């Protein structure tokens, strides 16, 4: 009777020999057959092109979704009164912060694809995570719309909001075009031109 270890060893040796033989055959074909090399390069280019098109399509879908969300927010309108604006601002910023914290609880799913010369990095986000990021950025955007000094708020967002959400927010601001993010000069500051020059005596 044949022992189990002998059968396992023979099976592993057969598989290893088969893999080694295929590697030698593949290397031989790659070195000797010009048509085989052309097909390999063609397949690599085709794969890189497909990945690039997929990334561009994904970016276009994301931008379309961002534009739709901004348009929807504009249609809903924003409060006009000072107290209503303040309450709306606080509510939106709190919502944005909660959604951005929820984002941290889920891991990102990275997919690495590449070939020898053209290294590409593609990372995919689960749909619910991307949706939370957009909703978080939308809440920050709504808060920014009612804030009296958007430039100052952008500086605060820059130091507190996670970068992916901040990038989406930047796309929203760029699409909107109505938000002036320039900081206002301080009226309480000192004008250095008014200070008399004191000479040395």
Residues 175 and 66 sit within 8 Å (Cβ to Cβ): yes
Confidence of residue 192 (pLDDT cuts 50, 70, 90): low
Average pLDDT on 66-81 reads 89
Half-sphere exposure of 152 (CA within 13 A, CB side): 7
The pLDDT of residue 182 is above 80: no
> pLDDT at position 194, please?
59
Closest CA to 113 of 48, 175, 168: 48
The pLDDT of residue 82 is above 60: yes
Look over the chain and give the mean of its residue pLDDT values, rounded to a whole number. Answer: 80
Measure the CA angle with vertex 89, ends 175 and 132; round to 5°.
60
The pLDDT of residue 20 is above 90: yes
The pLDDT of residue 86 is above 50: yes
CA dihedral of 107, 113, 118, 123, whole degrees rounded to 10: -30
CA distance 190 to 53: 55
58 versus 50: the higher-pLDDT residue is 50
Average pLDDT on 4-21 reads 92
The pLDDT of residue 63 is above 70: yes
């Amino acid at each position: 009777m044949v022992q189990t270890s002998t059968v396992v060893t023979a099976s592993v040796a057969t598989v290893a020999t088969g893999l080694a033989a295929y590697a030698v055959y593949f290397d031989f074909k790659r070195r000797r057959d010009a048509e085989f090399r052309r097909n390999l390069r063609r397949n690599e280019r085709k794969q890189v092109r497909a990945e690039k098109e997929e990334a561009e399509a994904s970016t276009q879908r994301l931008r379309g979704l961002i534009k739709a969300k901004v348009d929807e927010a504009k249609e809903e309108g924003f409060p006009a009164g000072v107290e209503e604006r303040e309450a709306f601002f606080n509510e939106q910023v709190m919502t944005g912060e909660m959604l951005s914290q929820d984002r941290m609880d889920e891991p990102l799913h990275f997919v690495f694809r590449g070939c020898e010369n053209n290294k590409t990095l593609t990372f995919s986000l689960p749909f619910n995570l991307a949706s939370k990021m957009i909703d978080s950025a939308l809440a920050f955007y709504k808060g920014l719309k009612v804030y009296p000094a958007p430039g100052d708020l952008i500086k605060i967002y820059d130091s507190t909001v996670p970068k992916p959400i901040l990038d989406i927010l930047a796309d929203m601001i760029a699409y909107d075009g109505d938000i002036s993010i320039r900081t206002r000069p301080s009226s309480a500051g000192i004008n250095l031109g008014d200070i008399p020059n004191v000479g040395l005596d």
